[in-house]
A = this chain, B = another copy of it.
Amino acid sequence: MDEFALIRRYFHHRQGEDVVLGPGDDAALLSPPAGEQLVMTLDTSVAGRHFPEDMPAADIGYRCLAVNLSDLAAMGATPRWFLLSLTLPQADPDWLRDFSAGLFELADQAGISLVGGDVTRGPLNIAIQATGSVLPGRALRRDGARPGQTLAVTGAPGLGGLGLRHWRAGMRDSQSARHFARPRPALEWGAALAGRAGAALDVSDGLLQDLGHILSASGDLGAELVLADLPVNDELAALEAEDRWALQLSGGDDYGLLFTWPAGVAVPEGARAIGRITDGGGVQLHYPDGRVSDAEPGGWRHF
C-alpha cells in the first residue's frame, strides 16, 4: 500500500464544519473562528522514550494525541484541528487499525479534526501538531503568577510516574497504569480556568520542574508547597511517604493542570490548593511533621 492509499484507509475520518479542505491536497484549508487567537503546539513521541515499546497501538494513538491536547488545555484553548506525521518501520495493517482507533476515540471526545500530515518510513516516531482557539486576553500563560496567589492542582501529581512503574511491573490494569497509558487531557479545566487563573501549565515533566517553569516565567518568584495537601488516589496513598513524595514531586506524565489563583478566594471545586506563591526564595516543601526544607526543581529530562 502506498502512502496515499494508507492515509485514505486509516486516517480519513469525519471533520468539523470549520474544515474547508482536509487531507488530500498540498495542505489543509481551514476557517478560523472570527475574533479568536490561535494556540499551536507540536509534540513528538518516540518509542522507548515517551512510551514503552510494547504499548498496544490503540493506547499509543490515544496517548500521542492526549499529550498535545493537554498543551491546548493548559492554555485554556478549545481544540480545533490536528495534523499527524507518522514515521513507521513498516506498514502493519493491524497496528495502523488499532493506532487510528485509539487516536480517533480521543479526537472525537475532544471534538478535534485530523486535517493533514504525512506517513513515511523510518524508526517509529509520531509527531502531532494541534491547534486550538481562545478569546483574546483569556489564554492561560506561565508568566501570570504573583506573590500571595494560591497554588493549586487538578488531578493527582505522581499518578503518571506510578502508572509507568505499574506498567513496567506488568500491573497494566491498575488505575495508575491506565492513566499512564491513556491520560485524559484536562480540557474542561482549561476552559473553566481561562481568563480566571493567574498562571497555568500542565504537569508533564514533574510537579517541581513544572512549578519552576511558572516561577521563572513570572519573574524569579518562590513558592510554599504543602505535601499533605497533594491529592492522591488509593494507589498513591498506599505507598510509603518518601516513595510517594518522590513520585508526586518529580514523576512526569500527570497531565493535570498546575495553576495559581487569587489569594483568599476558594479554588474551583474539584481542584486542590497545595500552597502559595511567594516573592522569592525558591520552593519550600512543608512536610507533615512540620519540617520545612528547600526543594531543588527537577524532573523528567527530555534530552
Contacts and interface: CB of A to CB of B under 8 A. Distances in A.
A24 interface: yes
A271 interface: no
B85 A42 contact: yes
A42 B117 contact: yes
A54 interface: no
Interface in A7-56: 20-21, 24-32, 34, 37-44, 46, 49-50
Contact of A118 (B143, B217, B302): B302
Contact of A75 (B26, B41, B81, B120): B26
A3 B302 contact: yes
Interface of A: 1-3, 6, 20-21, 24-32, 34, 37-44, 46, 49-50, 71-72, 74-75, 77, 81, 83-85, 87-88, 91, 115-123, 125, 127, 129, 131-132, 134, 136, 139-143, 201-202, 217, 301-303
A229 to B, nearest CB: 24
A26 B71 CA distance: 5
Given A29-B75, A71-B26, A74-B26, A83 B139 contact: no
A120 B27 contact: no
Given A25-B143, A26-B75, A40-B116, 7 more contacts: A2-B301, A25-B141, A28-B39, A29-B37, A29-B134, A42-B117, A125-B127
B40 A31 contact: no
Contact of A77 (B27, B43, B132, B303): B27
A127 B192 CA distance: 32
A25 B121 contact: no
Interface centre among A27, A84, A131, A201 (most CB of B within 10 A): A27
A50 B120 CA distance: 10
Given A139-B29, A303-B1, A40 B121 contact: no
B302 A120 contact: yes
A83 B27 contact: no
29 contacts: A2-B303, A3-B302, A20-B139, A24-B142, A25-B142, A26-B41, A26-B74, A26-B201, A27-B41, A27-B71, A29-B38, A40-B115, A40-B129, A41-B116, A42-B85, A43-B118, A44-B127, A46-B121, A49-B122, A83-B129, A85-B127, A87-B125, A91-B303, A118-B302, A119-B303, A120-B302, A122-B125, A125-B125, A127-B127
